Amino acid sequence: MILMALLACSPVISLVSPAFGAPADSTSSALVKQTETNIQSLESTLDTPKAVALAEASSQFQTYSKNFTASFDTIVNDWSFTQSGEVSWASVTAVFALHDASGLYAYLHVVEQPDLSSVTKAVLQLHPTASSTSTNWEGYTFTGDSYATVHVYETYAAWYLPAVSEPYSYACYFQTCALSVWTGLTDDSTGTNIAQTGTQSEVYCTIGCSYTYHAWTELWPTENEVNCANDPVSAGDSMASDVINGQETGGSWNHYDLYVYDFTTNHTCSRSVTWNNISEIYYGQFIAERPLSGGSPERLPQFSSFNMNAGQMYYNSANHYIYTPYNNGWYTAITMANGGHTNVYPSVVSTSSYFTHNYNTSSGT
């Protein structure tokens, strides 16, 4: 496998690998592999029913869920690690979907101590209905052969979290301008169903402008983005995304491990989930996206062109850097264009398996 994440009920795990903390253009692959192996071996010890019951019994849950129909959605775990290779379980978060008569209103994140002794806080994540269209995407979709008949079981890439700004006067005035960056696994080239993880950069302006950055995971279209609410990130942080299907290690076709790493703060959040939407995975995606909100796309903010580094996929029983499918012509390059304007376009993939998301303009978005 390429990567995994830190899901454990053991407080500290020693890792015999090089230290984390490398910049986003370094794979740190040996340590990441070992980290995820340790998490995989320990995640089954998490008492999920206890975590859910603790959350539902909390005063925070009662306050936020009043007047809504609440249903348990998923568990998100937050971890910290040191340069010497020790990993600590920081928190467990029970996530609930809150519905009203109009449908999904928000996700409620109830953050708990790792020993499930108490609730530390609750965070409400408002989430309007979203969808994905090809006009919002830029990047690459790769396959494991010319005809998309080889199964792909993992995607990994790293980048520095893009800082964003208002592209021109009043472009983000009383509206959010947003950029998402992610990798994911899907069953077709248009991303009908996607298991994905990544980051989002937002700017919202009134008298002045405010800026929001977060990491997230998503199983599209079953759910919208689930934020890593207890894992704060900042512009410029060294980030990485890893999405793994269970068949990579001989496991179930409908099991996924989702990870987002922040090498700057030495934190990661993870989910281990069962999802039945994709029976056959043939595509790995490496995308910068203008996300949608309430059925309409967010305006594209201004950002500096940035690299997606160390791109990797797992297929044919081995890890492959993305230059291999690129060099073989097993890819689709995607350019984001709106209103006759080229907004963002991908560079060629280098022999070192990185490419650049080139920002041009936000006009037309």
Question: For the chain, how many structural domains are there in total?
Answer: 2
Co-location of 237 and 103 in the same domain: no
Co-location of 171 and 121 in the same domain: no
Co-location of 138 and 245 in the same domain: yes
Both structure tokens of 246: 């269970």
Which of the listed residues 110, 126, 142 is the one where a domain comes to its end?
126
Co-location of 168 and 263 in the same domain: yes
Whole-model pTM: value is 0.73
Co-location of 96 and 160 in the same domain: no
What is the predicted pLDDT for the residue at 149? 83
pLDDT digits (tens, 9 = 90+) for 244-268: 999 999 999 999 999 999 999 999 9
Co-location of 17 and 103 in the same domain: yes
Co-location of 186 and 331 in the same domain: yes
Q: Which of 100, 141, 117, 88 has the alpha carbon at shortest distance from 266?
A: 88
What is the predicted pLDDT for the residue at 189? 65
DSSP 8-state code for residue 299: B
Co-location of 86 and 146 in the same domain: no
| Cis geometry, peptide bond prior to residue 221 (ω within 30 degrees of 0) | yes
What is the predicted pLDDT for the residue at 35? 74
Co-location of 177 and 31 in the same domain: no
- Please check whether residue 40 lies inside any domain of the structure: yes
Pairing of strands 283-289, 267-274: unpaired
What is the predicted pLDDT for the residue at 209? 96
Which of the listed residues 107, 126, 145 is the one where a domain comes to its end?
126
Co-location of 86 and 139 in the same domain: no
- Please check whether residue 6 lies inside any domain of the structure: no
What is the predicted pLDDT for the residue at 132? 32
Pairing of strands 341-346, 336-338: antiparallel
Ranges under pLDDT 70 in the chain:
1-29, 40-41, 82-87, 102, 126-134, 189-190
**SS3 state of residue 143:** coil
What is the predicted pLDDT for the residue at 86? 66
- Please check whether residue 198 lies inside any domain of the structure: yes
Which of the listed residues 76, 105, 126 is the one where a domain comes to its end?
126
Q: What's the rounded Cα separation, in Å, for the pair 337 and 135? A: 6
What is the predicted pLDDT for the residue at 271? 94
Residue range of the domain that includes 266? 134-359
Residue by residue, DSSP assigns 316-355 as: TTEEEETHHHHHTT-EEEE-EEETTEEEEEE-PPPTTS-E
Co-location of 258 and 290 in the same domain: yes
pLDDT digits (tens, 9 = 90+) for 313-334: 999 999 999 999 998 888 888 8
Residue by residue, DSSP assigns 45-112 as: G--HHHHHHHHHHSHHHHHHHTTSEEEEEEEEEEEEE-TTSEEEEEEEEEEEEEEETTEEEEEEEEEE
- Provide the CATH number for the domain around residue 184: 2.60.120.700
Both structure tokens of 188: 């077709």
What is the predicted pLDDT for the residue at 79? 79
Q: What's the rounded Cα separation, in Å, for the pair 146 and 329? A: 7
Q: Which of 34, 137, 135, 122 has the alpha carbon at shortest distance from 86?
A: 34
Other residues' Cβ atoms within 10 Å of the Cβ of residue 290: 25
What is the predicted pLDDT for the residue at 134? 63
